[in-house]
Structure 1
Amino acid sequence: MKWFKRLIIAFLSLTLLGIGAIAAAYFYVLPDLPDVNSLKTVQLQTPLRIYSSDGKLISQFGEKRRIPVEFEEVPQQLIDAVLDTEDARFFEHKGIDPIGIIRAATILITTGKKSQGASTITQQVARGFFLSNEKTYIRKIKEIFLALKIEKALTKHEILTLYLNRSFLGNRAYGVGAAAQVYYGKNLDELTLPEMAMIAGLPQAPSAANPIRNPTRAVARRNWVLSRMLERNNITQDEYQAASNAPVTAKYHGAEIDLYAPYISEMARDYMIQKYGEEAAYTNGYNVYTTISSDLQLMAQDALRNNVFAYDQRHGYRGPISQLWTETPLEHEQIIERLSKTSELQGIKPAAVLSVSEQQAQVLLANGQQQTLNWNGLKWARKYITDKRQGLPPKLASDILDVGQQVYVRHNGDHWQLSQIPEVSSATVSLDPFDGAIRSLVGGFSFGQSQFNRVTQAKRQLGSNIKPFIYATTLEQDWTLATLINNAPINKPDTRQGTAWRPKNSPDIYGGPTRLRVGLAQSINVMSVRALRHTGIQKTIDTLVKFGFDPADLPRNESLALGSPSVTPLQVATAFNVFANGGYLVEPYFIDHVTDAFGNVIEQASPTLACSPPEEVSVETDVDTQSALEIDDPFSAMSDELNNTDDAASVAASLDDEALVCQRENGRYAKQIISEQTAFLITEALKSVIWGGGDWSKGTGWNGTAWRASKLIRRHDIAGKTGTTNESRDTWFSGFNPTLTSTFWVGFDDHGRQLGRTSWMANGAPDQISGAEAGAKTAGPGWNDFMNQALKGTPEYPSEPPRGIVSVRIDLETGKLTRKTDHTTSFEYFVEGTEPTEYVKEAQQSGEIFIDNPAEDLFQ
């Protein structure tokens, strides 16, 4: 009894001592214990995601890849695998597992090693959110007390959900949702049993024992997880056998990008960092929904790249990358090793020439595949000499290639062909005419080659793309589409630039007095200069500023009339949008809305809309008109402060149909900068740029500069303008229909390099482009291809003359009224009150009535 009493006393003493030690430990660490209630509102670090307007993932930014999931979204077998592996009694204990603690303590006493931490899932949550991973007794004590507090604050499902979303699982994947994507490219509900077991086994050594880095070790861990599931009766023997014998199918999967559009995603990333700061932008799980249409974006990318390839090929082949061998061929493994050191770019792949026959060649790619280059993929490759000169067309494959050369090849959608990395640059952007939404944007041939966004950052000379704005100024004043302007050499020079500047036509041909419509359609230089002289430089600059151009970019001399200002493609598209929408300057924007990690909308675009408020109702909103993008260039401010205008809905019932659209779109009224009538008249003239005029059967037909765009076969609703600068350093094509405005630019990043010219190639296509590069030949085909695809299947929208427009029949030579109805006459549009009142006389000559400086002799 004495020994028993002593044992009881010792036990009670040790118990009291233990309780005291625990109490002491608790009060010792209490000041350092965080408030576990913060877990109820914890915001897991989730990457920034950029989407198209139709929900396609464009890009993802952030160090940690995480796809938060709800408890109900996790398959039961994956939950079983995790619990059987990490904490089999999770739903039974209160945060700590006494059995596990005793087991770990026994191992520590007998071996002296801390081989088992005895941490429950709740303890791991405590450690993951509040503590470090260092193995110290004080950390363990804190972990235990935090686990007990967490169990009181959260439900078991909430704790397990935090664990499933928080755990690091290797390869930057945090949480089971991200792991399923990173290793298998799947959603959780698509995982197989062996894949779930593999993921469940990752927390022990996510970096060293994942199936990508160490497949053997990962399989052993997976099979151990499966054995635990079998032991716990969560799978059958047959399931265990099949899963444990399953091969490793894991491989690295990047973010599941649905639409590769790097230039627009970089714009969105930059915007989010500017507004929210780098850390918040990358970790708070924001979802940015842009205005980009995935279909239009793909069309724009294809059109730009195909157009660049076409320019590059017609200027000739610049030769191989290197010579891999001369006499003694390398083994295939050696060739592949060398090829792997050269990156591919936009489908342009490095290859080695294995053999050359009469009109074909065999090449080996870096992936080990052999491909045949037939004559159709080789015959383009005449020698490049300079940007203005090419060699003779090749007749044999040996004129182009030698065995052992390292070259580039690509598949053009039809066959494999010899290729090269283009040196020329290009950019394109398209806008919605009604609200300025950017529907597609491509800032260059390849983001991998250059991250410079030429749509928003490259200021290039505008060339003849400026002429519609020059003529719009005259139409707003007192001219008409039928006004005759002297198409004759200019002999009075402009000396504002310090030299005697005398513009010439290109080609240097002059036709005497010519109607304004024809002068714009044929891009006649001297007529544009005379139009500028008529309105004056200051008035013209004032108009250009209204169209959104920066006054600092507008020279105060007559070169303005031929496009000497340097502007960005986005500025050009925005200005052309004014003609497409009836005279309104709508601000371009590219972010429709932003949501937080929980799907709540935190920003909503408030675009300017191309319509005027009804006169009888005054609508006032609290919309902040400040730009959301605080960038120096005013035209880089493409997204407003994204405020709601829900208060405007209360007056919607009293508005007419057009105004209702504006209110329903949460928009603000755009400023009307030119009259609807002027916008209509310029649009009609820009249709002549494509379709020309006259009667070809009578010998009076003529082409506009963009006649190649007639292949779109949309005679009634497309309009556009070519643009070429001196020495063809910049080429443009800008055009629109009522639903879409688009601008294409092509040039070299080196401002001093000319686009050159090409000679006719005997073995080329019948519709090949040759001669000097220009807007119609160089940028125009890209625009044509894009708009042809973008408008395919959409209805044609014939222009409806607005109120105040009349149509009268005029004599084509004099612009006066006529009673004739033959090929010498045509109907022309006028603003009511400006139509001619005098009828042409049969003997009258056009030279009597041209508009010009009376002191200037026509043929001097």
Structure 2
Amino acid sequence: MILLKRTLQFFIICAFLGLITLVSLYYYVKPDIPSVQVLKDVQLQTPMQVFSKDGLLINQFGEKRRIPVTIEEIPQPLINAILATEDNRFYDHIGIDPIGILRSALVLISTGEKKQGASTITMQLARNFFLTREKAYIRKVKEIFIALHIENLLTKNEILALYLNKIELGNRAFGIGAAAQVYYGKQLNELTLAQMAMIAGLPKAPSALNPIRNPVRAKARRNVVLRRMLDEGYISQADYKQNSQEPITAKFHGAEIDLYAPYISEMVRAEMVARYGYEKAYNSGFKVYTSVESNVQAAAQTALVNNLHAYDMRHGYRGPEQQLWDFETQPALSSSEILAKLKPIKEIAPLLAAAVLDVGEQTATVLLKNGEQASLSWDNLKWARKYITRYRQGFPPKVATDILNPGEQIWLRKNDDGSYLLSQLPEASSALVSLDPNDGRIKAIVGGYSFEQSQYNRAVQAKRQVGSNIKPFIYSAALNNGYTLASILNDAPINQWDKSLGVAWRPKNSPAVYNGPIRIRRALAQSKNVISVRLLRGVGLQRTADHLLKFGFQNNDINRSESLALGSASITPLELARGMSAFANGGHLITPYFINEIQDSAGNVLFKTEPLLACDPVTPPLTTTQFESTSGLNTSQAANHCAPRIISKQNAFLIADAMHSAIWGGGSWAHKTGWSGTGWRAQVLKRRDLSGKTGTTNDSVDTWFSGFNRNVMTSVWVGFDNPGNPLGRSTYNNNMANTQISGAESGAKTAQPAWIDFMRAALKDKPEAPIEPPEGLVSVRIDLATGLLSQKNDYTSRFEYFEKGTSPTKYVMQHVDNVFEEETKTEEELF
């Protein structure tokens, strides 16, 4: 009895001392224990995601890969695997596991080493959020108290969800959602049991047990997890046997990009960092919806890349990238040796690295970097005549040995039919910008051939001379200053002595064809240089420059010399597209934008673009219902959401209509008076709603094509990154089809093909959207030779638009055939 009493006293004293110790420890560490209230509103570090307008993932930026999931989205077998391995009594304990602590203490007492932990999932969550991994007793004490706080604050499912979204699992994957994507490229519900067990085994040592770096150790750990699941009754013996024998299938998977558009994603990244700072932009889980349409953006990239390759191919083959072995003096390498040499080569999409194994009469056998062996047919080789200079090409090849030799490392592109085409990395560069001229939304933007090759975004950073793309703005100034589309100017050479230089300035047409008296409409459509100079002189240099500044161009970019009339101003493609949009939208200066909406990680809208529209405030104002049905804005927003008017709607229409003639020409081909504009190649699109303008600078250094209808404005530039390098010319290649381009490079030949390919895709299945004549215009029949009123209803006359009060008042007295005959298309191609 006495022994029992003393034993009871001993336990009471021990309990009292333990309680005092526990309370003392609590107050000792209390100042260092963080508040766990933050877990109620926890903000997991998740990457910023960039989407297209229609919701396809373009890119993601962040230091950590994390895909947050709810407890309902986690498959039960994966939960079972985690619980069996990390904390099987999770749903039974209060945040600490006395049995686990006792087991750990016994191991410590018996071995003197901390070999076995006693951390519950709640304790691990406490450590992951608030503490370090330091193995110290005081850290463990803090961990226990924080775990108890967490259990009082959150439900078990909330704790488990936080833990599974927070844990580090290697390869910059944080949380099981990211791990499934990084290791298997799958959603959680697509994983096999073996793959779930693999992920469940990673928390213990994410680096050491990584299935990509250490597949042997990872497999052993996976099977430990499966054994624990078997022991706990989560799986059957058959399940264990089958899944423990499964091979390691993990490999690194990048983000699931739906639309590869690196230039627009970089624009978004830079803008978000500017707005929110690096840390917040990268780790707050922002979702940024851009303005680009996925199919339109993809079409822009394809059109630009294909056009650069077409330019490159017609100028000749520059030879292999390198010589892997000398086939004349060395024996051929084995496949494994060749693949070893190809492995370090960085491929730039769409180019694929390959080695030439054998060359036949009109075929070649190659080994690709991915191990595939393929045969190149003559149709995929015969373009490759020798490149000599940008102005000269060799003779068309007759046999494959004229082109290739064994041992050469070459570049290939894959054709639509799966065959491979001999290719090379283009030397020229390009940019494409497409806008909605009604509100400035960037529908597509491409800054170069390859973002991997060069991150320089030529669409927004490269200021290049615009050549004849400046002329619509020059002609707009002329219409503002008394000229009309029927005004007659003399298309004849100009010789002007320049005292400062001591030479004569002789601007020339390109081609050097002069028609004498010519109407302004046709002069713009055929890009007559001397007429542009005469108009600038007639309006005045300063007045013309002031007019150009209305279109949003920078003052420093608009040089004050007569060469301005020929396009010596340097402007980015985006700036040009913005300015040109005024002719498509009725005279308004829109503001381009590329971000539609920014959401936080919970989907709350933080920012939504409210673009300025190409509209005029209505007086008297429409009702709210009327205004919203036409613009999407209410009446109180109208005045603040209309883009500024910079030219009259009449001026805008007249220039757009003259640019329509640049594509469709004029005159009567039946009466041998027909003529073509410089953009006649766009007729292949068979759309009567398009207007356009070519642009070519001296020596074909910069080439442009800009064109539009009411809803789409697109500008394309092609040139070399190093200003001053001419694009040259190419001769006809007898090995190629009759559709090939030859002669001097120009806006019509070099830039317009990309514009045509892009617009074909962008306008597919879209109804025609012509620019309708506004009020304030009259249409009268004029004589083609004089621009005066005509009473004839034949090929010598046409209807012309005029602003009210500017149409001619006199009739032509007589018309003698051939006094002014619209000449036929010259043999020299129009630029």
TM-score (norm 1): 0.92
- Does residue 726 in structure 1 map to residue 730 in structure 2? no
Q: Aligned residue for 1:333?
A: 336
Quote the offset at 1:658 in angstroms.
Answer: 3.8
Deviation at 1:502, TM superposition (A): 2.6
Deviation (angstroms), 1:228: 2.0
| Residue identity opposite 1:764 in structure 2 | M
In 2, Cα distance between the equivalents of 1:555 and 1:502? 18
Given that 2:489 and 2:520 are in contact with CA atoms closer than 8 Å, whether structure 1 keeps it comes out as yes
* Closer, same or farther: CA 736–828 of 1 in aligned 2, 3 Å: same
What is the aligned partner in structure 2 of residue 761 from structure 1?
733
Per the alignment, residue 535 of structure 1 pairs with 539
Task: Give the CA deviation at 1:402.
Answer: 1.2
Is contact 1:606-1:668 (8 Å) kept? yes
Matching of residue 708 in structure 1 with residue 681 in structure 2: yes
Matches of 1:513 and 1:466, distance apart in 2? 22
**Does residue 1:686 correspond to 2:686, yes or no?**
no
CA distance in structure 2 between the aligned counterparts of 1:208 and 1:763, rounded to whole angstroms: 59
Q: What does residue 826 of structure 2 align with?
A: none
The 8 Å contact of residues 612 and 659 in structure 1, kept in 2 or not, is answered as: no
Contact kept? 1:814, 1:846, Cα under 8 Å: no
Is residue 624 of structure 2 the alignment partner of residue 614 of structure 1? no
Q: What is the match of residue 386 of structure 1?
A: 389
Q: Is the 8 A contact 1:513 1:847 kept in 2?
A: no
Given residue 380 of structure 1, which amino acid in structure 2 is its aligned partner?
A: W
Cα separation, 1, equivalents of 2:627 and 2:103: 77
Question: How do 1:456-605 residues align onto structure 2 when only pairs under 5 Å count?
Answer: 456-493=460-497, 500-605=504-609
> Hey, what's the Cα distance between the residues in 2 that align with 1:743 and 1:381?
30
Say which is worse superposed, 111-120 or 297-306, in terms of deviation. 111-120
Is the 8 Å Cα contact of residues 364 and 371 (structure 1) preserved in structure 2?
Answer: yes
Return closer, same or farther for 1:664/1:341 CA change in 2, 3 Å cut-off.
farther
Q: Which residue does 2:829 correspond to in 1?
A: none
1:477 shift after superposition:
2.1
**Counterparts of residues 78-89 of structure 1 (less than 5 Å):** 78-89=78-89
Equivalent position to 2:398, from 395, 400, 404: 395
1:829-848 aligned within 5 A = 829-843=801-815
The verdict on how the C-alpha distance between 1:819 and 1:661 changes in structure 2, with shifts beyond 3 A counting, is farther
Name 2:345's counterpart in structure 1: 342
Look up the SS of the partner of 2:461 in the other structure.
coil
Match of 1:173, SS state, is coil
- Residue 365 of structure 1 corresponds to 368
Look up the match of 2:19: 19
Alignment check: 8 A CA contact 1:689 1:719 kept: yes
Please list, as runs of the form range in 1=range in 2, the aligned pairs for 1:109-188 lying within 5 A after superposition: 109-188=109-188
Contact 1:731 1:745 in 2 (8 A): yes
Change (3 A) 1:359 1:160: same
Q: Describe the SS at the equivalent of 2:203.
A: helix
Greater Cα shift, 770-779 or 660-669: 660-669
Aligned to 2:77: 77
Aligned position for 1:801: 773
Residues 710 and 770, structure 2, Cα contact 8 Å, conserved in 1: no
Alignment of 1:815-834 (within 5 A): 815-834=787-806
1:668 is matched with which residue: 641, 644, 649? Answer: 641
The C-alpha deviation readout for 1:503-539, integer Å capped at 9, x for no partner, is: 1111222111101011001100000011111111111
1:781 match? 753
The answer for unaligned runs of 5 or more in structure 1 is 619-650, 849-860
Q: Does structure 1 conserve the Cα–Cα contact (< 8 Å) formed by 2:359 and 2:365?
A: yes
For 1:622-661, what aligned pairs fall within 5 Å after superposition?
652-653=624-625, 655=627, 658-659=630-631
Q: What is the DSSP-based 3-state SS (H/G/I as helix, E as strand, rest coil) of the residue aligned with 1:49?
A: strand
Shift of the 74–496 alpha-carbon distance from structure 1 to 2, 3 Å rule, reads: farther
* SS of equivalent to 1:426: strand
The SS at the match of 1:788 is helix
The reply to whether residue 425 of structure 1 matches residue 429 of structure 2 is yes
Residue 319 of structure 2 aligns with which residue?
Answer: 319
Decide whether aligned partners of structure 1 residues 332 and 299 sit closer, same or farther in structure 2, where only a CA change above 3 A counts. Answer: same
Match of 1:451 among 437, 452, 455: 455
What is the aligned partner in structure 2 of residue 791 from structure 1?
763
**Correspondence for 2:708:** 736
Q: What does residue 824 of structure 2 align with?
A: none
- 8 Å Cα contact 2:709/2:771 also seen in 1: no
Counterpart AA for 1:120: T
Shift of 1:246: 2.6
Q: Which position in structure 2 is the counterpart of 1:639?
A: none
For 2:90, the equivalent position in structure 1 comes to 90
Q: Compared with structure 1, are the counterparts of its residues 183 and 496 closer, same or farther at alpha carbon in structure 2 (3 Å cutoff)?
A: farther
Match of 1:49 in 2: 49
Deviation at 1:836, TM superposition (A): 1.6
> Which whole-Å CA distance do the structure 1 matches of 2:254 and 2:815 have between them?
77
Query: In structure 1, how many angstroms separate the alpha carbons of the residues matched to 2:601 and 2:636?
Result: 27
Displacement after TM superposition at 1:662 (Å): 7.3
Shift of 1:111: 1.3
Aligned partner (choices 680, 696, 717) of residue 745 of structure 1: 717
Q: Evaluate the alpha carbon distance shift between residue 494 and residue 831 of structure 1 in structure 2; reply closer, same or farther with a 3 A threshold.
A: farther
- What SS class does the counterpart of residue 721 from structure 1 fall into? strand
- The match for 2:828 is none
- Change in CA separation of 1:56 and 1:497 when aligned onto 2, cut-off 3 Å: farther
For 2:584, the aligned partner's letter is: A
Indicate the residue corresponding to 2:306 in structure 1: 306
Q: Partner amino acid for 2:54?
A: D
1:613–1:659 CA contact under 8 A, matched in 2: no
Q: Does 1:411 align with 2:414?
A: yes
CA distance in 2, matches of 1:268, 1:190: 32
Q: Secondary structure at the match of 1:529?
A: helix
Offset, 1:660: 5.2
Equivalent residue letter for 1:445: Y
SS for the counterpart of 1:169 is coil
Q: After TM superposition, where is structure 1 displaced by more than 6 Å over at least 4 residues in a row?
A: 662-667, 844-848
Give SS of 2:301's match.
helix
C-alpha separation in 2, matches of 1:549 and 1:499: 31
Query: Would the alpha carbon gap of residues 45 and 257 (structure 1) be closer, same or farther in structure 2, given more than 3 Å must change?
Result: same
Give the 3-state SS of the residue equivalent to 2:480 in structure 1: helix
2:262 paired residue number: 262
| Matching residue within 652, 669, 673 for 1:696 | 669
The answer for unaligned runs of 5 or more in structure 2 is 821-831
Assess if the C-alpha contact under 8 Å between 1:617 and 1:654 holds in 2: no
The CA deviation at 1:305 is: 0.3
Query: Which piece of structure 1 moves more, 421-430 or 186-195?
Result: 186-195
Secondary structure in 2 matching 1:9:
helix
Report which stretch shifted further, 506-515 or 487-496. 487-496
In the alignment, structure 1 residue 100 sits paired with structure 2 residue 100: yes
What is the deviation of 1:752? 2.1
Instruction: Compute the displacement of 1:223 (Å).
Output: 2.0
Deviation at 1:341, TM superposition (A): 2.0
Aligned to 1:626: none
TM-score, normalization by structure 2:
0.95
Q: Measured at CA, do residues 328 and 656 of structure 1 come closer, stay the same or move farther in structure 2, by a change above 3 Å? A: closer
Q: Give 1:368 shift.
A: 1.5
| 1:697 partner SS | coil
CA distance in 2 between partners of 1:676 and 1:376 (Å): 52
- Indicate if the aligned counterparts of 1:504 and 1:526 stay in contact, CA closer than 8 A: yes
Distance in 1 (CA, whole Å) between partners of 2:316 and 2:334 is: 31
Tell me, what secondary structure is at the counterpart of 1:815?
coil
Closer, same or farther: CA 660–285 of 1 in aligned 2, 3 Å:
closer
Name the structure 1 match of 2:784: 812
The aligned runs of 1:26-37 (5 Å cut-off) are 26-37=26-37
Equivalent residue of 1:351, what SS?
A: strand
Pairing 1:186-265 to 2, within 5 Å after superposition: 186-265=186-265
CA distance 1:106–1:776, shift in 2 (3 Å): same
- Per the alignment, do residues 612 and 426 of structure 1 end up closer, same or farther by CA in structure 2, a change over 3 Å counting? same
Identity, % of aligned positions: 58
Per-residue deviation at 1:210?
Answer: 2.1
Greater CA drift, 207-216 or 178-187: 207-216
* Corresponding residue SS for 1:548: coil
Per-residue CA shift, 1:76-116, capped at 9, x if unaligned?
22212211211111111111000000001111111122121
CA RMSD of aligned residues (A): 1.9
